[in-house]
Amino acid sequence: MAGDSEQTLQNHQQPNGGEPFLIGVSGGTASGKSSVCAKIVQLLGQNEVDYRQKQVVILSQDSFYRVLTAEQKAKALKGQFNFDHPDAFDNELIFKTLKDITAGKTVQIPVYDFVTHSRKEETVTIYPADVVLFEGILAFYSQEVRDLFQMKLFVDTDADTRLSRRVLRDISERGRDLEQILSQYITFVKPAFEEFCLPGSVSGKRAERPSSTTLYPSIRPSVSGLLLPPST
């Protein structure tokens, strides 16, 4: 585990008496960021049907891809647009949204369509929560966004595993063909990971596997104040 300067939660107040606790989760493409977030939700008791259940929200950086121009969309449909570059994201909207969340405001989250490479008309409403997890390949790239997180995790998964997962995901969920996936990976994904994503690993604890046996001990000191007490 790499060092981190996250705030301990033992005395952290909840939204009705303070700011929500923000956790940033970063890592390469298909590294298991969503699985780590799901495991954190489970550790915080969200899988229990109980009135004491914590309110936990997961946000994805993928929701904040910029609206593409006609020229950019044409490139995207051919696999020739770099979605792994910081400029591909609406970073101003990300920062504003997270700031509004820390202020206890209700926010609207865009819905991105990976098949058409465009934002859908509808949005997702996110209400104030106890804990907010924000995951993305470049979650730690922006200093102002990074500084909003009280806890940071970097999901460390080997490149071969990430590539195989990406191939399976993009074929089954996003209608891509193998040649386009591999070309995009070599041209954009791998270089962007090394230049923009990997440097962020020094900002957070390493989460090598999204399992309770490895993840829980590493984050327990920071989230102990959020864990549900035993039922009486």
Dist CA 224 CA 220 (whole Å): 5
Residue 84 counted as domain residue: yes
Q: Considering the domain boundaries, does residue 45 fall inside one? A: yes
Mean predicted confidence (pLDDT) in 104-119:
93
**78 within a domain of the structure (yes/no):** yes
Q: Using CA atoms, how far apart are residues 225 and 9, in angstroms rounded to an integer?
A: 5
Tens digit of each residue's pLDDT (9 = 90 or more) over 16-59? 456 899 999 999 999 999 999 998 888 876 655 544 556 889 99
Domain with 195, as residue range(s), is 21-203
**Separation CA 59–CA 110 (nearest Å):** 10
Residue 152 lies inside a defined structural domain of this protein:
yes
pTM above 0.75, yes or no: yes
Per the domain annotation, does 227 fall within a domain? no
End-to-end CA distance of the chain: 35
Residue 8 lies in a domain: no
pLDDT tens across 121-151, in order?
999 999 999 999 999 999 999 999 999 999 9
What CATH number does the domain containing 147 carry? Answer: 3.40.50.300
Phi, psi dihedral angles at 77 (to 5 degrees): -65, -20
Flag whether 9 is in a domain: no
Number of domains in the chain: 1
pLDDT of amino acid 77: 87
Tokens of 178: 């193998």
Q: What is the pLDDT of residues 55-93, one digit of tens each?
A: 889 999 999 999 999 999 999 988 899 999 999 999 999
Q: Which residues pair with 153 in a beta bridge?
A: 25, 205
Who wins on pLDDT, 6 or 68? 68
Task: Provide the token pair at 139.
Answer: 């979650």
* 220 occurs within a structural domain: no
Q: Which two tokens stand for residue 176?
A: 């891509």
Q: Give residue 6's pLDDT band: very low, low, confident or very high (50, 70, 90).
A: very low
